[in-house]
Amino acid sequence: MKFHRIDLDSWNRKPYFDHYLNQVRCTFSMTANIDLTELLPLLREKKVKLYPAFLYMVTQAVNAHREFRTTYDAEGHLGYWEKMIPSYTFFHQDDQTFSSIWTDFIDDFYLFYENYTADMKMYGDNKGIVAKAMEPPYTFPVSCIPWVSFTGFNLNIFGDGQYLLPIITSGKYFEQEGKTLLPVSLQVHHAVCDGYHASLFMNDLQKWASGGKSWLLMP
């Protein structure tokens, strides 16, 4: 996957990047309810699980905006990946632990779903934090907390404060005023993303959820 280096001197975001990375180091999170009212019946009709559909939608939203793909390469150069793929957690029912796995992404949902299904079949019984080795550098993290419908979620990452990629977490969907809603939390670094970009992500995610017929009902 191609990594595009950013020229800081000509980057229009340079003063914001410097401020929120070096002066007031800052991350923030946003939680919104995504309307699944139209999507869930389509998933049931196609016998498709929600989690891989969610992974598909969030990956499309991430790949639509380079702000969510901005990070450092292995040599420490700032830039952005041309495309990214999801690295996601899954739950082990027998001992209540979780593992992380990554899956190659394809724009065709059913091809992606095949990749997801194959990975879960091959690695789903592996225990430990990492279930599938050799994770490429162009992944972003996704997780799910399907036992609670949270109204806010925040991860506290202790380190050098230079983790720039988005972190996406979904909760338990619930019924409200005739709609089925899924709480989704997005955590980003303010050096590369503002509230505007977080809003773009949530709005894009809703468009994918509302437009399920375009990618689920294949001819």
Q: 28 - beta bridge partners? A: 188
Q: Please name the amino acid found at residue 43.
A: L
> Edge-to-edge strand order for the sheet containing 3-5?
3-5, 78-81, 70-72
Structure tokens belonging to residue 117: 């299904």
CA distance 126 to 100: 10
Q: At what angle do helices 39-46 and 50-63 cross, to 10 degrees?
A: 120
Rounded to whole angstroms, how far apart are CA atoms 127 and 144? 17
Query: Which residues are tagged catalytic?
Result: 190
The β-bridge relationship of strands 27-35 and 70-72 is unpaired
The angle that helices 195-210 and 50-63 make with each other, rounded to 10 degrees, is 130
Choose among 132, 133, 108: nearest CA to 216: 108
Per residue, the 3-state secondary structure of 30-47, as one string, reads EEEEEECCCHHHHHHHHC
